[in-house]
Structure 1
């Protein structure tokens, strides 16, 4: 009886370990290279904030910088490649 209970417990673990392939398994941003977002993904994140034109200033270090234009004004934004946080410079 104990063996049967142990086998049932092990079988239930295999049922719980099935990966989910539904909508909740989708990721909005593709992450690669030790959990860093790409320069292009960071540029799109700044563009989603309502800026029509976003040009790359620098994507060399872990903090990417961009020029963003809206209503005739120029803004500088920084995006941390590992956390995805955005701040204005």
Structure 2
């Protein structure tokens, strides 16, 4: 089992509820949060997949979810969609996590 920093363990229920309310199909954690380098100054790196097909509604859901994730974690959240991950170096780094 993955040993996540306590910030994620303590917020799991709130994040799960947020995902259910906002049609989030998948939410992936990557970056420093999965390493010993994660600190109080670190941001949270996430990739999100949203079920909504309507691009306008999808954008609204994405912005709302991003804002609420920053409120939950009380820190900066970098929220990417799988469409954003085209840089092969970034993609390889994310997949390694």
Larger Rg: 1
Q: Answer 1 or 2: which has greater helix percent.
A: 2
Same-fold status (TM-score > 0.5): no
Q: Answer 1 or 2: which has greater strand percent.
A: 1
TM-score (norm 1): 0.31
Structure scoring higher RCO (CA < 8 A, sep ≥ 6) equals: 2
